[in-house]
A and B are shown apart, each in its own frame.
Chain A
Amino acid sequence: MIQAIALAAALAGFWVLLSGYWLPLIIILGVASVLLCVFIAKRLEVADREGHPVHLTVPGLNYFPWLVKEIFVSNVIVAKAILFGGVRPQVLRVKASQSDELGQTVYANSITLTPGTVSIDVEDNHITVHAIMDDTADGLRTGEMDQKVCKLMGDAGPQSGSAKA
């Protein structure tokens, strides 16, 4: 239910931002569209924990800036490698310690979003990654991103044991 309300709020905000008009007719059309979309999402059963993860909003405020910083750093590293050499393509497998598919998806997507690493395949808690150089591959091997995503998802994480919620 909370997902449906959040979805309706997000869609309403989306409509207002894109239209920018406060005419009665437009607003009524907007409300009708939002209700129709939420109804369809409910029928399709996509407005659930996985399809509309509102519970990640607050932890995301911590994770997303870190991801942006990470993207920035690897952008510079990869740009340097392209211009001045240092490219050594390689394939590696890293552990995805997340407990559910949503967590693994977030992790795999984060890997792909960060320049220098592309996730190729996910299976049995492992992600196959193609990396363009040693730097970006080693950065992934440290498992820092894995831990951050675990923390975002509220999982126990790889080595943090039972103390961490």
Chain B
Amino acid sequence: MAAVLDIVSWVFVVGGVVFCLIGGYGLLKLKDVYARLHAASLIDTLGVGLILVGLMFQAGFTLVTAKLVLILVFIFFTTPTATHALARAAINHDVLPEVDTEEERELVRSTKTHTGTAE
């Protein structure tokens, strides 16, 4: 039984590691901020998710597992906010995505918000 749990646990952890690696590779390879956000989201959804699930199999029905579930829940609620904040910061500093048409670029530019009076 312990061996089976170990194997299941390893499958999840290795799966998570694979997604982290692909995400990291994408982070280096892709062209602009916006495309790289997508690579990063591989890491903080399935990458982190699978690793945490794998660790839950290691911990069994203990308080540790409950804490791992909480970590997962908080990551799911906070990463979209961080990703969105990054995209907004890029737009507000006139970093526009590399897309095919000028209209799409204009669409992004039009969402720029003027915040604060610094400068």
Contacts and interface: CB of A to CB of B under 8 A. Distances in A.
B63 interface: yes
Q: How large is the interface on A (under 10, 10 to 19, 20 to 34, 35 or more residues)?
A: 35 or more
Interface centre among A83, A89, A93, A130 (most CB of B within 10 A): A130
B12 interface: no
B83 A128 contact: no
Interface stretch (A23-31, A37-45, A108-116): A108-116
Interface string B89-112: 001000001111000110110010
A116 B105 CA distance: 18
A88 interface: yes
A112 B37 CA distance: 10
Contacts of B81: 109
Contacts of A108: 80, 84
Nearest to A115: B41
A109 B39 CA distance: 17
Given A75-B46, A119-B84, A14 B70 contact: yes
B17 interface: no
Say what secondary structure dominates the interface of chain B: helix
Contact of A118 (B34, B98, B105): B34
A5 interface: no
B22 interface: yes
10 tightest Cβ-Cβ pairs between the two chains A and B? A121-B111, A112-B80, A91-B104, A82-B26, A132-B38, A75-B46, A109-B80, A115-B41, A17-B66, A79-B22
Given A78-B39, A90-B100, 10 more contacts: A75-B45, A75-B46, A82-B39, A91-B107, A115-B38, A117-B38, A120-B87, A121-B111, A130-B108, A132-B35
Interface of B: 19, 22-23, 25-26, 29-32, 34-35, 37-39, 41-42, 45-46, 49, 63, 66-67, 70, 76, 79-81, 83-84, 87-88, 91, 97-100, 104-105, 107-108, 111
Interface of A: 14, 17-18, 20, 71-72, 75, 78-79, 82-83, 87-93, 108-110, 112-121, 123, 128, 130, 132
